[in-house]
Structure 1
Amino acid sequence: MEPIAPMALHLLLDSADVNAWDAWLPTGLFAGVTTNPTLLKRAAQPCRLEHLHGLADRALAHGVQELHLQAWGSDLVGCGRALAAIAPERIWVKLPITRHGLDAARTLQQEGCRITLTACYEPQQVLLAAALGVDYIAPYLGRISDLGRDGHAELIQMQRCIDALGSTLRLLVASLRGPSDLPRLAAEGLNTFTISPAIAEGLFSVEATEAAAAQFERDAL
């Protein structure tokens, strides 16, 4: 399997709300979608394999290149295998970075599945992901900060570890709390983010820009 090609900025939409998909995916800003059982529950979507088939079809109809679906249950390998089979070239199986999750990731990876490790809270977990050779690991920026730590500094350290190792692993920054998180981390070389529809909307909420655009329209009359 070829590694993911480097790119300047890589945005994924963090939502299981199909209305949000319909609103945001046609903009061309997002390469794909990330979901998990919590997002499915929040969007009143059943966390069932047969239902995820339909959701995947809807996402892929928007032309997304990546759909990250999280495996669950005692048999992570079996669930992950079933998720990957929905669209092998476009599905990334998400697994928690626990011992059970890593064991499943290794097995699925050997079968050719694309893997995203998730629920990352510590820099050393990035080293585990790099050693395994998976595509992505998703550190939870906001939740790390909620623990009284400097989430931005820790994610920057994670990225420096990856760069120093020459690894192809990509940090998929999750749990952002506001639009300002993106430029702060991008300035330090982080380039892959999964963001909620609310934060996507916030990226356009610049009062001075809105005022200037309104002035242009008034002056055009």
Structure 2
Amino acid sequence: MALRLLLDSADPSAWAEWLPTGLFRGVTTNPTLLRRAAQPCNLEHLAELTARALELGAEELHLQAWGADLLGCGRALAQLAPGRIWVKLPITRAGAAAARALIAEGCPVTFTACYEPAQVLLAVALGADYIAPYLGRISDLGRDGHANLTRMQRIVESVRRVDPDGPGDRPDASPPLRLLVASLRSPNDLALLAAEGLDTFTISPDIATALFAVEPTLAAAAQFERDAEDT
């Protein structure tokens, strides 16, 4: 599968800066990111944000359902832009129940808050498009986050190999599950996991900026400009 990058931000000014670059397939948000960006977490405002993201070129917008009625909230979110909204749900029993109904209705789903390799199997079994493991937060628990995510990726690949009738193996099937790596702390996290075969990441604007802040590269570019002026 080809590399996919998504922008992990609920700040429309960050979307305006980064989405036009063509680097990002879309945007991931959640209530925490909305709070940090001083954006209200309600359907009316999310409809405005959705329109703005699509206007800026987002192909996918991942919006997290909340409240006692995850299914109802998920349905309402999906209707903001059918086919362009991925409803995010925690990989809990309540989230799984809502996901089953939404997937049956043709709504794309992204599971979130993944901390254990075995949780990937739940997402595969339910037919989700994505599951988002939290790399940095797993490491914060004293575990080897990179090793855990590599194991998750191997699980996804193994399930594809041993289940010829599984999702993604038939022309009429839904795409196979992707690990949507979240909670990256540095560009090096991205490089290390990509070397292990992971190909889908949601990154903050700060990490996007850091990817271009390579001092030797900037120095070489500045030298090119100086040399051009001297010729």
Same fold (TM over 0.5): yes
> Displacement, 1:111?
1.1
- Which aligned runs of 4 or more in structure 1 are off by greater than 2 angstroms? none
The letter for the 2-side match of 1:20 is A
Segment drifting more, 136-145 vs 159-168: 159-168
**Does residue 1:34 correspond to 2:37, yes or no?**
no
Once the two structures are superposed, residues 73-105 of structure 1 have per-residue CA deviations (whole angstroms, 9 ceiling, x without a partner) of: 000000000000011110000000000000000
> Displacement, 1:21?
0.3
Q: Helix, strand or coil for the counterpart of 2:10?
A: coil
- Count of matched residue pairs: 215
Partner Cα distance (2:51, 2:17) in 1: 17
> Displacement, 1:215?
0.6
Choose which of 191, 197, 203 in structure 2 pairs with 1:189. 197
**Does residue 1:209 correspond to 2:214, yes or no?**
no
Partner Cα distance (1:107, 1:130) in 2: 15
**Does residue 1:11 correspond to 2:19, yes or no?**
no
TM-score (norm 2): 0.92
Q: Helix, strand or coil for the counterpart of 1:213?
A: helix
Choose which of 55, 73, 83 in structure 2 pairs with 1:79. 73
Q: Helix, strand or coil for the counterpart of 2:187?
A: coil
Q: Which residue of 2 aligns with 1:3?
A: none
Partner Cα distance (1:50, 1:216) in 2: 50
Once the two structures are superposed, residues 96-143 of structure 1 have per-residue CA deviations (whole angstroms, 9 ceiling, x without a partner) of: 000000000001111111000000000000011111111000000000
Choose which of 180, 184, 202 in structure 2 pairs with 1:172. 180
Partner Cα distance (1:88, 1:98) in 2: 24
Q: Which residue of 2 aligns with 1:92?
A: 86
The letter for the 1-side match of 2:187 is P
Partner Cα distance (1:148, 1:42) in 2: 26
Partner Cα distance (1:55, 1:138) in 2: 22
> Displacement, 1:39?
0.2
Q: Helix, strand or coil for the counterpart of 2:109?
A: strand
**Does residue 1:140 correspond to 2:148, yes or no?**
no
> Displacement, 1:63?
1.7
TM-score (norm 1): 0.96
Q: Helix, strand or coil for the counterpart of 1:68?
A: strand
Partner Cα distance (2:178, 2:49) in 1: 25
> Displacement, 1:62?
1.1
Q: Which residue of 2 aligns with 1:162?
A: 156
Partner Cα distance (2:209, 2:35) in 1: 22
Partner Cα distance (2:33, 2:121) in 1: 27
Unmatched 5+ stretches in structure 2 = 161-166, 168-175
Q: Which residue of 1 aligns with 2:100?
A: 106
The letter for the 1-side match of 2:178 is R
Q: Helix, strand or coil for the counterpart of 2:27?
A: strand
Partner Cα distance (1:148, 1:32) in 2: 31
Q: Helix, strand or coil for the counterpart of 2:217?
A: helix
> Displacement, 1:191?
0.2
> Displacement, 1:174?
0.1
**Does residue 1:150 correspond to 2:144, yes or no?**
yes
Q: Helix, strand or coil for the counterpart of 1:180?
A: helix
Unmatched 5+ stretches in structure 1 = 1-5
Q: Which residue of 2 aligns with 1:60?
A: 54
